Chain A
């Protein structure tokens, strides 16, 4: 799986490159519009992470070039311009998703995976983890091949954690991913605990091991160890 990261800010670029390499992607980076343009003309990528404000041009033009070339690459816009117009324009031009800075790396990685899953028609469209199988198209979870009935939120929680096996996922990023802005209504992230407890119970009832580990004061980790 090959990614191109177009981001002019070195510190952010290095974080993205490193984080996504650990996720198992082949990652290349471009620091400017010129470099990005050259790379997309020369190579094929599965997904392009695109910053809109570049020193020598507009990221939207990279998107236009990709679409004009009928490139199969997915495009995820990461922009510091929070303007609604940019988002609308980006999506209209054919970007797959839009993420405003600042963002959670785990959220970025989850969205990236969703884009790749949606675009991958030949590949297996399922996530496997030990005895767990998640079929995102049907929003179904199987334990040892047996379906488990989960609520929408429990399913979203599981999918989010499962997307980051072995990684510490912060409570804030889970809350934001699963509940969105509604999480603002809570005084704290304590409500996550109730939902995770139910999820764990339902999975264990079907004979799955407990893979959801709590990381004290930080968040959770989905791990077999």
Chain B
């Protein structure tokens, strides 16, 4: 439920209740006042009659407006509501009746004075309609005004909310929130702007740290590699030392490659590859396959290629290169001698299949995409290839699917554009 609806609901409930009670009280009050008016007249008439009868001993000749009845029988005295027949319209109509005793010619007489309440009824009806009309319009007006005002007043909040949902710290931006006269929203915007400034600053510091760490690591790696290479050149290096130094050298290389892979991953995550240009994938694949010819031949792989010219994709050249290389390297590396390597490009997807190790029952393909996940622990590869593929694909909104056909032990990686 929207905040606006919720507040409006309470508002309408309260207003409705107050209006109902208010109208009721007003109605009763007006009615009471009108009745009092009628009663007062009746009492005045009674007093007048008493005075006249006391003075003359006769009932005055001039009849009153309204009705007067005389009765020799005792009747209950006081004020009553009665229905009397209206001779003209032959209908019963409400009257207020005052009955009292008069000593007339020595005989007690009961006089009933009646006054029509029909006028009061009309006034009452008028008041009721007026009340309903005015109060109803007022209520409706207030609800509408409230809703319109609320929309207007909440507009800065809605804008803030929109900006917040679109906020991405990786864009290195600080929130640009519009100014508002409402103090609470102004405070909210100020707090959010400060928060985003802090977040952006922290992010920049973290990124700088990562970059510095990355670049500071390269120098010691370069020193290690250079010294080991020099060590290998020593003329009197004992023969058994050679392989030891070479292993050390290979480990440094591996560290360097690992470092390179992680740097690439963090750069993709930091969206540092914004530039894109049309990359014809078929051409790129052909070029890469050409460079890999030696390795395909080395393993005597059966190469099945379908590379029709498709629409070029908008990619960063370095990422396109990395995506294709990692997929192909992966398919060659994990292939067995004499196996199959299939590269099929369509306008919708790139599918690279390779024969390889039989997938054990418990192995979860999703885990192949995890960092440092390796088929073979002894392998020199840092195990980042598929993570990089996954990362590049999701950067461009592509989907990567893994399929396994058990009868051929055929592993397929599909990049769906």
- In contact, B298 and A217 (Cβ under 8 angstroms): no
Give the A-B pair count, Cβ closer than 8 A: 119
- In contact, A191 and B294 (Cβ under 8 angstroms): yes
Stretch at the interface among A7-15, A25-33, A60-68: A7-15
Measured between alpha carbons, how far is A80 from B214 in the docked complex, in Å? 9
Question: Binary interface profile of B, 277-307, with partner A (CB < 8 Å = 1, else 0)?
Answer: 0000000000010011011001000000000
Measured between alpha carbons, how far is A100 from B215 in the docked complex, in Å? 10
- In contact, B328 and A185 (Cβ under 8 angstroms): yes
Within 8 Å of chain A (Cβ to Cβ): is B223? Answer: yes
- In contact, B250 and A186 (Cβ under 8 angstroms): no
Interface of B is mostly: helix
Within 8 Å of chain B (Cβ to Cβ): is A207? Answer: no
- In contact, B333 and A186 (Cβ under 8 angstroms): yes
Size class of the B contact interface (CB-based, 8 Å) = 35 or more
- In contact, A172 and B329 (Cβ under 8 angstroms): no
Within 8 Å of chain B (Cβ to Cβ): is A82? Answer: yes
Question: Binary interface profile of A, 165-207, with partner B (CB < 8 Å = 1, else 0)?
Answer: 0011010110000011110111110110011000000000000
Residue of B nearest to A167 (CB): B233
Stretch at the interface among A35-43, A101-109, A116-124, A141-149: A101-109
- In contact, B242 and A15 (Cβ under 8 angstroms): no
A-side interface residues, number (CB < 8 Å): 44
B334 to chain A, nearest CB (A): 9
**Most interface-central of A81, A106, A168, A182 (chain B CB within 10 A):** A182
- In contact, B298 and A191 (Cβ under 8 angstroms): yes
Within 8 Å of chain B (Cβ to Cβ): is A133? Answer: no
Q: Which B residues lie within 8 Å of A82 (CB)? A: 214-215, 218, 260, 263
Residue of A nearest to B232 (CB): A168
Within 8 Å of chain A (Cβ to Cβ): is B23? Answer: no
Residue of A nearest to B246 (CB): A218
- In contact, B292 and A182 (Cβ under 8 angstroms): yes
- In contact, A217 and B233 (Cβ under 8 angstroms): no
- In contact, B294 and A195 (Cβ under 8 angstroms): yes
A199 to chain B, nearest CB (A): 13
Q: Which of B221, B249, B288, B295 contacts A191 (CB 8 A)?
A: B295
B27 to chain A, nearest CB (A): 83
User: Which residues B245-268 have CB closer than 8 A to chain A?
Assistant: 245-247, 249-250, 252-253, 256-257, 260, 263
Within 8 Å of chain B (Cβ to Cβ): is A215? Answer: yes
- In contact, A184 and B246 (Cβ under 8 angstroms): no
A219 to chain B, nearest CB (A): 7
Measured between alpha carbons, how far is A106 from B230 in the docked complex, in Å? 10
Measured between alpha carbons, how far is A99 from B245 in the docked complex, in Å? 23
- In contact, A186 and B295 (Cβ under 8 angstroms): yes
Q: Given A180-B291, A191-B295, check contact A12 B243 (CB 8 Å).
A: no
Within 8 Å of chain B (Cβ to Cβ): is A153? Answer: yes
Q: Which B residues lie within 8 Å of A168 (CB)? A: 232-233
Measured between alpha carbons, how far is A195 from B243 in the docked complex, in Å? 22
Q: Given A82-B260, A216-B243, check contact A101 B230 (CB 8 Å).
A: no
3 closest A-B pairs by CB: A217-B243, A102-B222, A101-B222
Apart from the given pairs A106-B229, A179-B291, 7 other A-B contacts in the complex at a CB distance below 8 Å? A18-B230, A19-B229, A22-B233, A167-B233, A168-B232, A184-B257, A188-B380
A-B contact pairs, 21 of them (CB 8 A): A9-B219, A12-B223, A16-B226, A82-B260, A102-B218, A102-B252, A105-B229, A105-B230, A172-B249, A182-B292, A182-B295, A182-B325, A184-B325, A184-B333, A185-B332, A185-B333, A186-B332, A188-B380, A191-B294, A217-B242, A217-B243
